[in-house]
């Protein structure tokens, strides 16, 4: 490109080179994408008669939010909530503790290859198995109740947190860690001084986020028998007690909002 004469390009205007250089390929991609979108929408079948009836039911459901019933099933709601919160806290703590060593092992810049492969494998398995599937399996093994939920959430936390922690470690500033290594530090000291301070804010932020997710998940896991507020919610739906269901949903929303607020404060503090 160095042999372009300045006179040739002056007054010519300039445009950013396109991402896909070959024009025909670019147009094939664009047209193909549009055609795909149209075709995809065309295959969605909508039974408008059914929607019309459903609208009414949906409306009933929404209306019940205006008169949520906290009172008549309060005992069940309270027990469910406590169970969910215990489940969330226990699963988060256990999950976070386990995911720290796995996260260290899954970071290519600090772990030797065999350790890396094993830890990435654990992460991949944990992430591939969706919470509901794990919960169904664990309910089958341990029976109905919060133990299955607790184990499910711990397992899911490991995949989530280890992966993101490992990625943060891989993106850390090498020279800071190198400086600690140059002082003759042992491996644990190196992690404690060279790596941990760099990833701590992200680890705390992610952990708070995971607590939040675990609480929301605990409401879903009840649907497959893994205990918690979800079990109460499921029962309410089964009995068509939309007002009780609304009360539960309002409580879940409230708690998630409180967690969001807390995590904001904590993250600002550890920066």
Partner 1 sequence: MLRLEKLTKTYKTGDQALKAIDLEVPKGQVLALIGPSGAGKSTMIRCINRLVEPTGGAVMLDDTDLTRLGSGALRKARREMGMIFQEYALVERLTVMENVLSGRLGFVGFWRSFLRRYPQSDVDEAFRLLDRVGLLHMADKRADELSGGQRQRVGICRALIQNPKLLLVDEPTASLDPKTSRQIMRLITELCRERGLAAIINIHDVALAQMFVPRVVGLRLGEIVYDGGPTGLTPDKLTEIYGEEDWEATIEKVDDDEDADIEAAE
Question: What are the residues binding partner 1 (CB under 8 A)?
Answer: 173, 175-176, 178-186, 188-190, 192-194, 197-198, 200-201
Minimum distance from residue 270 beta carbon to partner 1 (Å):
9
Q: Smallest distance, Å, CB 196 to partner 1?
A: 9
| Residue 145 φ/ψ, nearest 5 degrees | 125, 175
3-state SS of the chain is CCCCCHHHHCCCCCCCCCCCCCHHHHHHHHHHHHHHHHHHHHCCCCCHHHHHHHHHHHHHHHHHCCCCCCCCCHHHHHHHHHHHHHHHHHHHHHHHHHHHHHHHHCCCCCCCHHHHHHHHHHHHHHHHCCHHHHHHHHHHHHCCCHHHHHHHHHHHHHHHHHHHHHHHHHCCCHHHHHHHHHCCCCHHHHHHHHHHHHHHHHHHHHHHHHHHHHHHHHHHHHHHCCCCHHHHHHHHHHCCCHHHHHHHHHHHHHHHHHHHHHHHHHHHHHC
Distance of closest approach, residue 108 Cβ to partner 1, in angstroms = 15
When the beta carbons of 198 and 235 are compared against partner 1, the nearer one is: 198
Half-sphere exposure of 150 (CA within 13 A, CB side): 15
193 vs 237, beta carbon nearer partner 1:
193
**Cβ 231 to partner 1, closest distance in Å?**
42
Residue 43 or 271 having the CB closest to partner 1:
271
Cβ distance to partner 1 smaller for residue 191 or 249:
191
Min CB(185)–partner 1 separation in Å: 4
Contact in structure between 72 and 134 (CB atoms under 8 Å): no
Q: Which is nearer to partner 1, 132 or 185 (CB)?
A: 185
Shortest CB 114 distance to partner 1, Å? 17
Closest contact distance (angstroms) between CB of 186 and partner 1 is 6
Q: In this complex, which beta carbon is closest to partner 1, that of residue 170 or of residue 178?
A: 178
Output the CA–CA distances (angstroms, integers) from residue 218 to 18, 132, 244, in the order listed: 47, 10, 18
- Report the residue number, 86 or 204, with the smaller CB distance to partner 1: 204
């Amino acid at each position: 490109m160095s042999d372009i004469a300045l006179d040739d390009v002056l007054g010519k205007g300039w445009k950013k080179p396109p991402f896909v250089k070959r024009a025909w390929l670019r147009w094939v991609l664009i047209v193909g994408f549009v055609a795909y979108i149209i075709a995809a929408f065309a295959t969605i079948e909508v039974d408008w008669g059914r929607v019309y009836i459903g609208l009414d039911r949906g409306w009933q459901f929404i209306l019940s939010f205006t008169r949520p019933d906290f009172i008549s099933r309060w005992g069940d709601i309270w027990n469910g909530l406590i169970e969910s919160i215990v489940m969330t806290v226990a699963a988060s703590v256990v999950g976070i503790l386990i995911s720290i060593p796995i996260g260290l092992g899954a970071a290519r810049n600090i772990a030797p290859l065999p350790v890396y492969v094993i830890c990435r494998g654990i992460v991949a398995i944990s992430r591939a198995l969706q919470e509901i599937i794990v919960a169904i399996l664990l309910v089958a093994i341990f029976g109905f109740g919060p133990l299955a939920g607790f184990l499910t959430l711990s397992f899911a936390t490991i995949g989530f947190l280890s992966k993101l922690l490992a990625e943060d470690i891989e993106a850390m500033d090498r020279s800071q860690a190198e400086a600690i290594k140059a002082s003759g530090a042992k491996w644990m000291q190196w992690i404690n001084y060279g790596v941990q301070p760099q990833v701590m804010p992200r680890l705390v932020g992610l952990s708070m986020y995971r607590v939040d997710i675990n609480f929301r998940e605990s409401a879903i896991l009840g649907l497959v028998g893994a205990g918690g507020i979800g079990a109460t919610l499921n029962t309410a739906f089964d009995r068509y007690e939309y007002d009780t269901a609304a009360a539960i949903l309002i409580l879940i929303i409230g708690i998630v909002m409180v967690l969001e607020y807390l995590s904001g404060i904590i993250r600002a503090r550890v920066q």
